Amino acid sequence: MKKNNQNTNNIPKKKILVSACLYGHCTRYDGESQLLRDKTFLEWKNRGMLIPVCPEVLGGLTTPRSPSEIRDGKVYNMDGDDVTEQFQKGADEVLKIAQEHHVVFALLKDGSPSCGCKHIYDGSFTGKKINGSGICARKLLENGVLVLAEDDMASAKVFLNE
């Protein structure tokens, strides 16, 4: 009989990049978190598979901070400041982390001007959403990282073979 030499302890843990606010960190613009209360997500968290990142914090913005939206390809906060540079820096940092850890995919908070991968706000600060991606989600996608939203857990389980 063929001997199975595979030692399961040597199999590297699969890693998933996640928005820090979904992980439970208080990184949102209003200083709150947005923990994803999905059973499988919480299991992955307990197993140490999740790498929490907040592109806006990594880009140098403070928490809490003025909320931002994308308009004409640039990012402005509610006070009218152009914060595009900070958003791009944060996206670059997140991409580096994703590549270092060879993440299977990124699971990001939809609707955010950084993390949104299906919808973003339309730039008018009136609460209107449009189809589109945030700065960080787009950066990851352009560099070959699969990006899913928090309501894509069913697909996420399939991609992870779980």
Interface positions with ligand SF4 (CB under 6 A)? 19-21, 27-28, 54-56, 109, 112, 114-115
Residue (27 or 133) nearer to ligand SF4, CB: 27
Burial class (CB in 10 A: 0-12, 13-18, 19+), 5: exposed
Nearest distance from C-beta of residue 28 to ligand SF4, angstroms: 4
State the Cα–Cα distance between residues 155 and 145, nearest whole angstrom.
15
Q: How many CB atoms lie within 10 A of CB 98?
A: 24
Token pair of 117, please? 């991968």
Nearest distance from C-beta of residue 108 to ligand SF4, angstroms: 7
State the Cα–Cα distance between residues 62 and 150, nearest whole angstrom.
24
Residue (64 or 99) nearer to ligand SF4, CB: 64
Q: Is 106 helix (H, G, I), strand (E, B) or coil?
A: strand
Nearest distance from C-beta of residue 109 to ligand SF4, angstroms: 4
Residue (67 or 155) nearer to ligand SF4, CB: 67
Nearest distance from C-beta of residue 19 to ligand SF4, angstroms: 4
Residue (24 or 155) nearer to ligand SF4, CB: 24
Token pair of 127, please? 């609460």
